[in-house]
Structure 1
Amino acid sequence: MLGEMVIGTLVNIAVILVHLAATFLLVSFVRPLAHRLAAFPRMRLTLALLVTSSVLLIAHLVEVSLWAGVFLYRELVPTLEAAFYSAFVGYTTLGFGDLQQGEHTRLLGPMAAGSGIMMFGWTTALMIFVLQDHMPRLVRHRED
């Protein structure tokens, strides 16, 4: 049990670092883009949301890949496809239950789910930040 907790914690730290890197990438890309498109608030908002969504989607895919790698390495599932499926189901908290985990690895599933919950919350916060940053300019532009 302790071993699974350590592995799960380490993967969660790796997942957090991936999301942090995505956040830093967005901060360094979206702000300069916003300044260049100040005269075009609709395009600015559209591109900011598109870039933000794309970067965060890629981050989530990398994070699921980390979990899939652990599931495959720990022989939780027999194939790479099953590893990704199981990781996606856990990470997104769908929990279909059609893949059963062995008793020696059953703590990894809930840890993947907790990881996904945290990262989707973080993603939501970033999307709201982008909207809050861009919407006032769009409203002011419409009023002019």
Structure 2
Amino acid sequence: MILDFTIGSAVGMTVMFVHLLATLTVYSLVHLISHKIDENRVLFLTLSLITLYLILFLCLCCSVLIWATTYYHLGLTDNFGDAFYSAMLSYTTLGTGDLTQVAKTRLFGPITGASGIIMFGWSAALLVYIIQLHLPVILKKKWEKN
């Protein structure tokens, strides 16, 4: 049980590092481009949100891939497809309803779920950050025109 917790914590930290890289990428892109696009903030906000979504979705897939690799190498599933499916169910906190592969260890499902909850919160914070960065400027310009 302690080994499961240790491995799960290490994988969770790895997933957090992936999200940190995504956060730094988003921050760099937004601040690199934001001062250049001052006239059309609506377009910039739209493009920023689309780009952020793509980066976060890629980050989600990488995170699940890391958990799936762990599941597979620890022998918790018979094949990698089942490992990815199990990891996706746990990471998104849907649960394992139709699968029992993860039953060989009691902690990996909950640790994966906790990791997913934290990372989804982190992702939501990034979306809010982008909106808060640009929406007030858009609304201010709209009110100034009227």
CA contact (8 A) 1:34 1:48 kept: no
Counterpart position of 1:7: 7
Shift of 1:20: 0.4
Assess, with a 3 A threshold, how the Cα gap between structure 1 residues 79 and 59 changes in structure 2: closer, same or farther. same
Shift of 1:140: 1.8
SS in 1 for 2:100: coil
Q: TM-score, normalising length from structure 1?
A: 0.95
**Is the alpha carbon distance of 1:95 and 1:78 closer, same or farther for their aligned partners in structure 2, counting shifts above 3 Å?**
same
Structure 2 residue 89 is the aligned partner of structure 1 residue 89: yes
Cα distance in 1, alignment partners of residues 130 and 47 from structure 2? 11
Query: Is the contact between residue 19 and residue 59 of structure 2 (CA under 8 Å) also seen in structure 1?
Result: yes
Q: Considering only aligned residues, what root-mean-square deviation do their CA atoms show, in Å?
A: 1.2
Note if 1:49 corresponds to 2:46: no
Q: Separation in 1 of the partners of 2:61 and 2:135?
A: 28
Which segments of 5 or more consecutive residues in structure 2 lack a partner in the other structure? none
- Sequence identity, in percent? 37
Q: Aligned-pair distance for 1:86?
A: 0.3
Unmatched segments (≥5 aa) in structure 1: none
Query: In structure 1, what is the equivalent of residue 131 of structure 2?
Result: 131
Q: 1:140 to 1:109 in 2, by over 3 A?
A: same
- Structure 1 stretches of 4+ with a deviation exceeding 3 A read 101-104
Structure 2 length-normalised TM = 0.94
